Amino acid sequence: MVSNYDQQKNSELYWADIFSRWLNKRLESDYEPFINKKEKSIIDVFLRSSSKRFPKAQLQLTSSEPYVEYRLLAWQRKKSFKEREAISSNNAVVDIDKAIYRKTEEGIEKYGEAKIKQVILLVHGMLIEPAGENWFTDEFIEKYQKNSFAGIYYVRNSPERVTSIKAAVQIEKM
């Protein structure tokens, strides 16, 4: 039987792998994800370049999904497709916003701002944006440009579904 700890680490590795494949395609890099085995650390996963040509990246992962159960209940109560679509798209950004805020506050409190400035935050979820729409408005993106994390990305379930909210300069500048 797989423990909760192992399930969490497998999940972190899954999402970090999607992110590393997106990064590799975008930068023509060769990053591979590795679990951080230290218990009390802000770093969940390391990305290492197999050729050592690219700088190591440190990742903190969090889910936007804890808020989904509440939204699902509200969604089920709505009758029309239009009402359901509004709950799905509007609240997804709120969920992501809450996840970023929570992890930023928690990171600063536990590890200090200097430490989280070296870490990339990956917010992951299974939410699918409505066709032809971008959930992340310019105002939403602008809000996080001064966030303490080195970079912030929203990762969905494939490398084609990664969105940069705040680009991590140390890895994307190459």
Enter the pTM of the model: 0.82
Please tell me the predicted confidence (pLDDT) of residue 170: 64
Please tell me the predicted confidence (pLDDT) of residue 131: 45
What share of the chain has pLDDT > 90, as a percent? Answer: 48
Residue 7 pLDDT greater than 80, yes or no: yes
Residue 174 pLDDT greater than 50, yes or no: no
Strand arrangement, sheet containing 119-124:
31-35, 45-49, 57-63, 119-124, 151-155, 162-166
Per-residue pLDDT tens for 45-91? Answer: 999 999 999 999 999 999 887 555 444 554 455 555 555 455 455 56
**What average pLDDT does this structure show over 2-26?**
89
Per-residue pLDDT tens for 130-166? Answer: 544 566 788 888 999 999 999 999 998 777 778 888 9
Give CA–CA dist 63/147, Å, rounded: 18
Question: Which one, of 16, 19, 60, 13, lies nearest residue 162 by Cα?
Answer: 19
Cβ 153 vs Cβ 122: under 8 Å: yes
